[in-house]
Structure 1
Amino acid sequence: MSNEDITLTAGDAEATVRPGNGGRIAGLRVGGLELLRQGERYGCFPMVPWCGRIRDGRFRDGATVHQMPLNSPPHAIHGTARDGAWDTARVSQNEAVITYDLVDPWPYPGRITQVVTLAEDSLTLTMSVEPQESSFPAQIGWHPWFNRSLGREDVRLDFQPAWQEERGADHLPTGRRIDPRPGPWDDCFGMPDGVDVTLTWPGQLELRVTSPEKWVVVYDEQEAAVCVEPQTGPPDGLNTHPHLVTLLEPLEATTTWTWRAV
């Protein structure tokens, strides 16, 4: 199967999918404006089979402790699928289906499927994790890098989380839920009715990131971009909020970005 770049179009929107570079959305242009930060590490990449950091790179499955590579010492971060080449299963003008088979260092065989669907006013990302043999804990999330500026004023973020996960000195949640604090953020928030975050580039575009999931990490400590990351659990969730993926119950998640001119 091919893993060449894919271009999707709908109206004046164009999305570039790069299966060969971690299954990421490398670009999203709306009316000629590029919304995503450009570069091999940026765009919007899938976080799977875990999201954010795993404390010391270790997670427990029953009595077995697994060690992941410490790619963000002293922790492991953002899963393994963003480092691999995905395969293209199906493509149409406005939709792509790509897959990735889990391999070492992840200890369990399984298949990730991601569906990218572009409409004139939205982009929908859907992902699933299916085990091929035994069950295992997993998470799904997305890590978009939205450009802070589209050439005019900086983007404004609006959201109403129910709580913020208190962040420890090691950048991981302490387990305490606190009242949301002002940014800048590299923090996880709870939105029990579903993720709903609005990014507004004044005088240009408004984009809503929504998801049925109740966790979102917001990262805006870099000058060039802001990140709004819907996910199925908090950082270190393989240890604190494990979701067991089984043959009968794969893990599935979705997020939609909807935009309009302002």
Structure 2
Amino acid sequence: MSSDKSVRLAAGDVELTVRPDLGCRIESLRIGGTEVLRQGEHYGSFPMVPWCGRIEHGEFRNGGTKYQMPLNSPPHAIHGTGRDTVWKRVRTGGGESGHAEAHFTYDLAEPWPYTGRVTQIFELSESALTLTMGVETYGDSFPAQVGWHPWFLRNLGGEDVRLGFTPAWQEERGDDHLPTGRRIDPLPGPWDDCFGMPDGVDVTLTWPEQLELKVTSRSEWVVVYDEQEAAVCVEPQSGPPNGLNTLPRLVTPVDPLELATTWSWRRL
């Protein structure tokens, strides 16, 4: 641990720094001394939980009850509450055999209306990082989503990154930035859009002559955001934006929600 506020994991010449006090976001990922994430307390890579992307007008229903989330991206609520929460480190280990890991949790609290626990696990090796996130309930069932929002640097000092993926469809985006419910053929970028990959998320970022990094997940949903000059975001998530309303996945006492994503890389 490099300071009271950061947890550092290392495997070979790969270094990962996590900030549990800043929403358990990845502050830094350095591969062979090269930083691959945009720096700053709003960037790095943060968890999206208990929802991903936007909720229309911040409102969702569970059965006949309607709930209102704070409109932190008016007129909508965006990216959950976990990124604004202080998480607790519960375990770290490894580091001697080219592998290191750390486990963090926090208890769901207001403004989220249900009680439960969120867990996030980081597993680092010299060639990959696996992130696993889970949500369990302490009582009532509720809809939830999990995902990750990494800000990969567009440029590592050479040519700009190239993005490679073959989605089956794109969720049509309305003027309100929410999916309309129509699936369309993928359009050329730039994007702030959700794509369907029913065989699992598989997106390759290539910085020519420097690094290739693959983002994979068993989830079929990924949001790609590349409208900013500094970074490109590839966001695997358990459901589409506004999914608490359009495609709710219930967390129940016998069926918690869990999702993993792996970033694997090779030097070019």
Please tell me the TM-score bracket, short chain as reference: over 0.9
For 1:243 and 1:23, how far apart are their aligned partners in 2? 23
Question: 1:15-37: CA deviations, max 9, x gaps?
Answer: 00111100101110000110000
Partner of 1:57: 58
Q: Which amino acid aligns with 2:13?
A: D
Counterpart of 2:220 in structure 1 is: 214
Verify: 1:119 aligned to 2:125, yes or no: yes
Residue equivalent to 1:73: 74
Alignment match, 1:9? 10
Do structure 1's residue 259 and structure 2's residue 265 form an aligned pair? Answer: yes
Q: Secondary structure at the match of 2:42?
A: coil
Distance in 2 between residues matched to 1:24 and 1:116, nearest whole Å: 11
CA distance in 1, matches of 2:88, 2:186: 40
Q: Does 1:242 align with 2:248?
A: yes
SS of the residue corresponding to residue 193 of structure 1 reads coil
Task: Give 2:173's aligned residue.
Answer: 167
Structure 2 residue identity aligned to 1:144: P
Match in the other structure for 1:22: 23
Q: 1:104 aligns with which of 83, 86, 110?
A: 110
Aligned: 1:88 with 2:123: no
TM-score (norm 2): 0.96
Work out whether residues 3 and 18 of structure 1, in 8 Å CA contact, stay in contact via their aligned partners in 2: no
What secondary structure, in the 3-state scheme, does the structure 2 residue paired with 1:20 have? helix
Read off the aligned partner of 1:52 and give its amino acid letter: G
Q: Deviations over 1:137-165 (max 9, x none)?
A: 00000000000000111000000000000
Alignment of 1:154-193 (within 5 A): 154-193=160-199
CA deviation after TM superposition for structure 1 residue 100, in Å: 1.1
Query: Which digits, 9 at most, give the CA deviation of each residue in 1:166-210, with x for residues without a partner?
Result: 000000000000000000000000000000000000110000000
CA distance in 2, matches of 1:77, 1:3: 29
SS at match of 2:109: coil
Distance in 1, matches of 2:175 and 2:200, equals 28
TM-score after normalising by structure 1: 0.98
Tell me if 1:31 matches 2:11. Answer: no
Residue type matched to 2:114 in 1?
Y
Gaps of 5+ in 1: none
Structure 2 CA distance for aligned equivalents of residues 97 and 4 of structure 1? 15
Which whole-Å CA distance do the structure 1 matches of 2:125 and 2:106 have between them? 24
Quote the Cα distance in structure 2 between the aligned partners of 1:29 and 1:246.
38
How far apart are the structure 1 equivalents of 2:39 and 2:101?
21
Structure 1 SS opposite 2:105: strand
**Alignment check: 8 A CA contact 1:3 1:85 kept:** no
Q: Give the aligned partner of residue 223 of structure 1.
A: 229
Q: How many residues align?
A: 261
Q: Give the corresponding residue for 2:41.
A: 40
Task: Note the C-alpha offset of 1:3.
Answer: 7.2
CA–CA distance in structure 2, aligned partners of residues 146 and 72 of structure 1: 22
Letter in 2 for 1:249: D
Identity percentage of aligned residues: 70
Tell me, in whole angstroms, the C-alpha distance in 2 between the residues paired with 1:214 and 1:98: 25
